[in-house]
Amino acid sequence: MRHLISAVAVTGCVITGFSVNSWAQNNSGFTLWSGVGRENQLNYYLDYGGQPNGWDRYRFKIPAKKLELGVAQIAISYPDYYDGKFDTKRVEVLAKGKKIPISEVKWDKENHVIQIEMEEPIQAGNSLEIVFSNVKNPPFGGMYYFNAQVLSPGDVPLPRYVGTWILSIGGG
């Protein structure tokens, strides 16, 4: 009986250790003193752990409650001290797990913004996932604030701030 209890305890510790380690490297987690209200912090995942100067895949999430109007375009701005590199040919937008056709991805390096224009507007009330594959992380770790704005379809598209992803590179 004593061996059984020991085996269960060790197995529980090992499983808990793996899940906590994975969560800490791949989720926005809990951020203190960020300057961004909790209601405006968006979740993200770094598929390959966010190692400085390493290759990664960023998964930026926007919940449905933030998208009360349709989405024709997504603009993601980032700080001027972020020295990573994006592959504009390897960007995807998913709604309800399905790939949305993109008409154009523009990376304005000078103004530190990436614009993603959809072929057809995405209906309101869908959660979105923006996937950046083949990203080269900055050579040095740090905290990087990526701000999301969406433009709704129509004659006068209005940009709306929907939140901020607070990326931690080299923090796991």
- pLDDT tens sequence across 103-148: 999 999 999 999 999 999 999 989 999 999 999 999 999 999 999 9
pLDDT mean over 23-33: 46
What are the sequence ranges of the domains in the chain?
2-169
Whether 32 shows a pLDDT value over 90: the answer reads no
**Using CA atoms, how far apart are residues 135 and 125, in angstroms rounded to an integer?**
29
Whether 150 shows a pLDDT value over 80: the answer reads yes
- pLDDT tens sequence across 7-20: 444 444 444 444 44
pLDDT computed for residue 116 by the predictor: 98
Between residues 154 and 56, which one has the greater pLDDT? 56
Q: Quick one: fold of 2-169?
A: Immunoglobulin-like (2.60.40)
Lowest mean pLDDT among 22-36, 72-86, 97-111: 22-36
pLDDT class for 2, splitting at 50, 70, 90? low
Strands (E) across the chain are located at: 44-46, 55-62, 71-77, 91-95, 98-100, 102-108, 113-122, 128-136, 142-151, 159-169
pLDDT computed for residue 170 by the predictor: 92
